[in-house]
Amino acid sequence: MASFHLKSVLFVVAIFAIFSITQASDPDILSDFIVPPGSAIDGNLFTFTGTRGIFGSVIEKFKVTKASKAEFPILDGQSVSLAVLQFPRGGVNPPHIHPRAAELLFVVQGSLEVGFVDTSNKLYTQTLQVGDLFVFPKGLVHYQYNSDWNKSATAVSGFGSANAGTVSLPTTLFATGVDDQILAKSFKSDVSTIQKIKAGLSS
């Protein structure tokens, strides 16, 4: 009897844990918006000007302009953020993940080759043109690449979190102090190759 009761309790706890995980997102707020400390409540509070002048500008190197909770504090609790990605000719946004949100990418200039890898290690790719949208599921490794060496490209990405987070795989693996031996064994390589990769990322 006690065993049946314990199993019942564990089952309920497991169901609650699974439900909590599947419902994970930005926490709901109990007001219309959250006012950052020291802010005046007027139209300026809800306006972000950090993307002014970037459309139509000359793109020399890959650049991301974010409008997330860090740059636009009124987004706290709103479960939304945005980024403008600018690609020079041949530019790449290296493989990375967003642990807290899916990404919906909208191409507004040029073309992009995009792809993501699912948890069964299957790669899904597409070549996007102006006006195309592509979704990168939450937490999966993905990239964007402007393979056109004649034209730059620009895309706008929307996220279902005020702070989607970005984990860049090259930086995380090779520029954070992970031991060279561990990386060499993990990539079935050698220490000198790992050190060359690290040197390339620091230049």
* Same domain? 96 vs 160: yes
pLDDT band at 30 (very low <50, low <70, confident <90, very high): confident
Q: Extract the annotated binding site for oxalate.
A: 93, 98, 103
What region, left, alpha or beta, does residue 85 occupy, with left being phi > 0 and alpha being psi -120 to 50 degrees? beta
Q: Extract the annotated binding site for Mn(2+).
A: 96, 98, 103, 142
* Same domain? 71 vs 99: yes
* Same domain? 56 vs 141: yes
Within a domain: residue 24?
Answer: no
Within a domain: residue 178?
Answer: yes
Domain count, the chain: 2
Within a domain: residue 36?
Answer: no
* Same domain? 192 vs 97: no
What sign has the CA pseudo-torsion 70, 101, 26, 10? negative
* Same domain? 172 vs 125: no
Q: How many other C-beta atoms lie within 10 A of the C-beta of residue 106?
A: 15
* Same domain? 144 vs 62: yes
The pTM of this model reads: 0.82
Within a domain: residue 68?
Answer: yes
DSSP 61: S
* Same domain? 144 vs 181: no
What residues make up the domain containing 184? 168-202
Within a domain: residue 147?
Answer: yes
Tens-place pLDDT, residues 137-156? 999 999 999 999 999 999 99
* Same domain? 161 vs 175: no
* Same domain? 90 vs 176: no
Here the tokens at position 134 are 């592509």
* Same domain? 113 vs 131: yes
Average pLDDT, the chain: 89
> Parallel, antiparallel, or unpaired for β 112-117 and 103-109?
unpaired
* Same domain? 128 vs 189: no
Half-sphere exposure in the Cβ direction for 79 (13 Å, CA): 9
Beta bridge partners of 114: 126, 144
DSSP 36: P
Main-chain phi, psi angles of 84, to 5 degrees: -105, 125
Tens-place pLDDT, residues 31-82? 899 999 999 999 999 999 999 988 888 899 999 999 999 999 999 999 999 9
SS3 category, 23:
coil
List the CATH number of the domain containing 156: 2.60.120.10
Within a domain: residue 30?
Answer: no
Tens-place pLDDT, residues 165-175? 999 999 999 99
Q: Extract the annotated binding site.
A: 93, 96, 98, 103, 142
Task: Let me know: does 128 contact 110? Beta carbons within 8 Å.
Answer: no
* Same domain? 158 vs 111: yes
